[in-house]
Structure 1
Amino acid sequence: MRESETLDGRVVLVTGGASGLGAAICNMLAAEGASIVIADLNEARAHENAHRLTEGGATACAATMDVGDQEQVAAALDLAIQRYGKLDAVVNNAGVDVTASIDELDVAAWERVLRTNLTGPFLMAKLAKNRLAPHGHIVNIASTAARRAWPNASAYHASKWGLMGLSHALHAELRGMGLKVSAVIAGGMRTPFLLDRFPDIDTSCLQDPENVARAVRFVLTQPDETVVPEVMVLPMKETSWP
């Protein structure tokens, strides 16, 4: 197996890596030999998860980071390189949502969602581009909210549709530098992102976040000559998709 087709020895930074899908991604990549940087706004939880991974024999560290803050993003990327000597991939997983009608959605909430879900991946790509190792990879976690729309989620939809546009634009722009860009479109998952806000949701219509983490592993382990620009992972009973 060629080096690009394994995660052993690779260094991956995951934003929003302290909980939910982010934690599932960190767990899966670490279990396969990657060194993980858990970048999260929640400092205590990021350090707790990094400690749990290292206690289990993996290699991991934590970075406190607001994805919308350019200086903090740069510092987290530099930490990865200082700690592990290189950076092979970044996974833009951090995301927020505000459930509100257009009348109830204030400008501050709109800007917070766009800053986290769209400006954050932009900053990460912009600042990681010249720090990534050869054949480096940027993975953007999108959503079925980038393919369909429902009421009371205009900020979230705008951010995720925008993220898909950004992801494909970067795929076109950066492939000439030998860098890969992939979007993983995730259907509903059994994570705090949904369960905490919608306690009455039918969990049988959701999927285990580990299943989406497998898709991240899949795109990261393609041969150097191959890139997967987009992949969608849905629960069998996905309600927001035909």
Structure 2
Amino acid sequence: MQNKFSLEGKVIVVTGGTGIIGQSFIKGITEAGGAVGILGRNEKVANERAEKVIQSGGNAIALIADVLDVESLELAKNKVLDKFGKIDGLVNAAGGNIPEAIVLKDHDIFKMNMDGMRKAVDLNLWGTLIPTQIFGEALVKNEGKGAIVNISSMASKRVITRVLGYSMGKAAIDCYTQWFAVEMANRFGDKLRMNAIAPGFFLTEQNRALLTNPDGSYTERGNLVLKQTPYKRFGDTDELIGALVWLLSDSSEFVTGTVINVDGGFFVNSGV
């Protein structure tokens, strides 16, 4: 019997593949049998992760590129096609917050750093649209069916203080995911679909200082997050793997334009 949850024989490109969440995505894809293109700016980490996959019996290739740079993405796409002959999936995992886009309580709300806001939106929105433009064409040309998975956020659904630029970028991702899914269906039928995962709160290098103190205890913000999360803990990035593999696999072939929350109940909790 065919295992529709398997990624055996599929080639998946992961942007942000040198990050913490990207590391879990690489693990999940390879454990499900897929070959993975590890795309990121950190050449050392990309090569190390690709080598680790290969040593474990999997198939991987390091792709050194910036998600905002068309030329480097084109080169990365060609490198994947030269090695594997096709691309079946794209995971747009590059993104995150930047310090210049954080608005603190003592900041003048009418003197926000507009350049910082723009950079945060660029990274999270255009850092998803541009790779989709580059790799999506190869997905359409593939003889099989393709899947694109974007990364949304709780910040696109609820007001999360301080992170305005990041929130605007991720809200745009939700809109883009739905709009582009419909457009692809109208043009290509069920050949190519797009969905997104909205993680709750996970401890990564980008948010660790906001959520934890140097001694490992939780900050005021960290405690507020846990209070709003019914599971009363932060997530482990490996807990995103199930949703990712499902959305990339043939088992979700009738699913498009959907945002899957993986958040320990944060979004649905009223706090009452």
Structures share fold, TM-score greater than 0.5: yes
Shift of 1:209: 0.6
Aligned to 1:149: 159
Aligned to 1:63: 63
- SS at 2:260 equivalent: strand
Shift of 1:193: 2.9
Question: What is the identity percentage for the equivalent residue pairs of Structure 1 and Structure 2?
Answer: 24
Shift of 1:18: 1.5
CA contact 2:199–2:262 (8 Å) conserved in 1: yes
Aligned to 2:203: 190
CA contact 2:95–2:127 (8 Å) conserved in 1: no
> How far apart in 1 are the matches of 2:253 and 2:268?
34
Task: Confirm or deny that 1:214 pairs with 2:242.
Answer: yes
Instruction: Output aligned runs, 1:151-190, within 5 Å.
Output: 151-176=161-186, 177=188, 178-190=191-203
Shift of 1:151: 2.1
> How far apart in 2 are the matches of 1:76 and 1:8?
22
Report the TM-score, using the length of structure 1 for normalisation.
Answer: 0.91
The one-character-per-residue Cα deviations of 1:188-232 (angstroms, maximum 9, x if unpaired) are: 113223225543345862111111121101111234751242211
> How far apart in 2 are the matches of 1:173 and 1:40?
28
Shift of 1:24: 0.1
Aligned to 2:260: 231
Task: Confirm or deny that 1:31 pairs with 2:31.
Answer: yes
CA RMSD after TM alignment: 2.2
Q: Return 37-46 or 204-213, whichever deviates more.
A: 204-213
> How far apart in 2 are the matches of 1:98 and 1:87?
31
Q: Return 106-115 or 171-180, whichever deviates more.
A: 106-115
CA contact 1:65–1:73 (8 Å) conserved in 2: yes
> How far apart in 2 are the matches of 1:89 and 1:223?
14
Change (3 A) 1:224 1:2: farther
Aligned to 1:108: 115
CA contact 2:150–2:197 (8 Å) conserved in 1: yes
Aligned to 2:19: 19
- SS at 1:192 equivalent: coil
The one-character-per-residue Cα deviations of 1:64-90 (angstroms, maximum 9, x if unpaired) are: 111111112222222211111100000
Report the TM-score, using the length of structure 2 for normalisation.
Answer: 0.81
Change (3 A) 1:123 1:2: farther
The one-character-per-residue Cα deviations of 1:152-187 (angstroms, maximum 9, x if unpaired) are: 111001000000001111110112312110111111
Aligned to 1:44: 44
Q: Return 192-201 or 29-38, whichever deviates more.
A: 192-201
> How far apart in 2 are the matches of 1:191 and 1:30?
22
Higher radius of gyration, 1 or 2: 2
The one-character-per-residue Cα deviations of 1:29-56 (angstroms, maximum 9, x if unpaired) are: 1112111100012111111111111111
Could you list the runs of 5+ residues in structure 2 that have no partner in the other structure?
Answer: 104-108, 227-231
Aligned residues: 241
> How far apart in 1 are the matches of 2:155 and 2:2?
36
Change (3 A) 1:241 1:187: farther
CA contact 2:37–2:80 (8 Å) conserved in 1: yes
> How far apart in 1 are the matches of 2:97 and 2:234?
17
Shift of 1:239: 8.3
Q: Which amino acid aligns with 1:232?
A: N
Shift of 1:63: 0.8
Aligned to 2:145: 135
> How far apart in 1 are the matches of 2:51 and 2:237?
21
